[in-house]
């Protein structure tokens, strides 16, 4: 008598082949026709991170935003992240200039700053970005209050980042903060996903695609 | 002559109030009626992390999985994560026993292991879990190959984890790996999101909700 066979599963085990098939599936299923040439591959990678091919309808960016953010990274700009998950998701080997990836949320000054400013810690943490904000690439993937706070800082004359990837997620303020970013009155290049969807994975994927054109 | 007024935005700045309104919105819009009592709050937190109230239709769990995973964490089980983003998303202050949060993906042994086993690094990294797998809470939020590899390890007699939160995302193998987990032949309690959706934020949110009943 023999033992029952061990169950096995037939699946692709080659990482490069998984990427190739994934991106081919996305290009077959997603409607990318409305997107400028340099934005489309960024959106493909964002779809890869979330599994949803209907994402393009919610994506908006200022003309040239991908090019401007990419050039800033090549010039050594830091990536300023609102959450540690965003920072964790940025693939360091894709960054063109060994760029710093910064998240100030766990800085010990933040709780007191938040209390003093009457806002969330996610928003208050951006005050610590000021010395590095000029020319930086901003990646906000979690907190709507952080994106609103950035817009308030810009309106009050804070240094200009090179571009803002603004994709906070959720139900309270997320859609509104992204709509405010996309009005563009601040003059800063931007990329958003309108509505409630967003998050750290989509945001990190956008930065990873901007950083390196390789798929 | 006065300067033009600085634009301002009206939004909720109180973190606790944002949480309260977010969870109230989710409970008003999401159909949680089909979910067991201890699973519903976990799914609410997962929805909070992704902004999508239609998530419950794709969630499946073995009976008692939340209770069993929660008890394991109270007993000090480590959380074994397939990706650093998942580990980053787990709120340490919610863990009941100062539990270890482990991600072996960047271990220097992994590239050689992957080459030898003919699989992805995400899958090969799970080989390093073996000494801690018995009774652990597994959180797979990125790689379908990692979830398939876990099932193969279990089928071949590896130590049993206390529960598997299996929510990899994407187009190649994600839905299939979660369907394989949910067949349950391995006898391990599980929580999945069927289909292509998933990811590190949803997975970390599930662990955070299991770890601590507070919202």
- CA dist B28 and B88 (Å) reads 30
What share of chain A in percent tops pLDDT 90?
Answer: 93
pLDDT at B165: 98
> B200 CA to chain A: closest CA distance, Å?
7
- Write out pLDDT tens, residues B45-94: 999 999 999 999 999 999 999 999 999 999 999 999 999 999 999 999 99
pLDDT band (50, 70, 90) for residue B213:
very high
CB contact under 8 A, A21 and B156: no
pLDDT band (50, 70, 90) for residue B127:
very high
pLDDT at B168: 98
Selected for mutation to probe chain A from B4, B5, B15 (highest A CB count within 10 Å) is B15
Residue of B nearest to A23 (CA): B171
Selected for mutation to probe chain A from B29, B85, B182, B183 (highest A CB count within 10 Å) is B85
Which of A85, A155, A180 minimises the CB distance to B85?
A85
CB contact under 8 A, A197 and B171: no
Say which residue the tokens 């799914």 belong to: B43
Nearest-Å Rg of the Cα atoms of chain A is: 19
Which of A21, A85, A176 minimises the CB distance to B11?
A176
**Residue ranges of chain A with per-residue pLDDT less than 50:** 1
Give the residue from A202, A89, B4, A136 showing the smallest Cα distance to A150: A136
CA distances to B28, B49, B119, B173, B195 from B57, rounded to whole Å, are 16, 16, 32, 20, 10
- Write out pLDDT tens, residues B166-203: 999 999 999 999 999 999 889 999 999 999 999 999 99
Its ipTM equals 0.95
Host H or E run for residue A63: none
pLDDT band (50, 70, 90) for residue B1:
very low
Q: Can you tell me the mean pLDDT for B129-134?
A: 98
Catalytic status, residue B186: no
CB contact under 8 A, A51 and B169: yes
Which of A85, A121, A196 minimises the CB distance to B51?
A196
Q: Is pLDDT of B4 > 70? A: no
Query: Within a 13 Å sphere around the CA of B163, how many CA atoms are in the beta-carbon half?
Result: 26
CB contact under 8 A, A89 and B200: yes
Residue of A nearest to B19 (CA): A172
- A155 contacts on B by Cβ (under 8 Å): 6-8
């Amino acid at each position: 008598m023999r033992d029952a066979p061990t169950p096995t599963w037939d699946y692709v085990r080659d990482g490069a082949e998984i990427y190739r098939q994934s991106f081919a599936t996305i290009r077959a299923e997603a409607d990318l026709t409305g997107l400028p040439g340099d934005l489309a591959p960024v959106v493909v990678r964002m779809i890869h991170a979330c599994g949803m091919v209907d994402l393009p309808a919610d994506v908006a960016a200022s003309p040239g935003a991908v090019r401007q953010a990419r050039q800033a990274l090549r010039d050594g700009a830091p990536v300023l992240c609102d959450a540690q998950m965003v920072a964790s998701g940025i693939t360091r080997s894709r960054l063109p200039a060994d760029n710093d990836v910064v998240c100030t949320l766990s800085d010990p000054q933040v709780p007191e700053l938040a209390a003093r400013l009457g806002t969330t810690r996610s928003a208050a943490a951006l005050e610590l970005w000021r010395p590095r904000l000029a020319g930086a690439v901003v990646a906000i993937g979690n907190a709507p209050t952080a994106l609103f706070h950035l817009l308030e800082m810009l309106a009050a004359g804070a240094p200009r980042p090179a571009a803002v990837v603004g994709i906070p997620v959720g139900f309270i303020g997320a859609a509104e903060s992204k709509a405010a970013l996309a009005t563009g009155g601040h003059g800063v290049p931007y990329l958003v996903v309108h509505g409630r969807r967003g998050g750290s994975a989509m945001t990190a994927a956008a930065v990873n695609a901007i950083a390196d054109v390789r798929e």
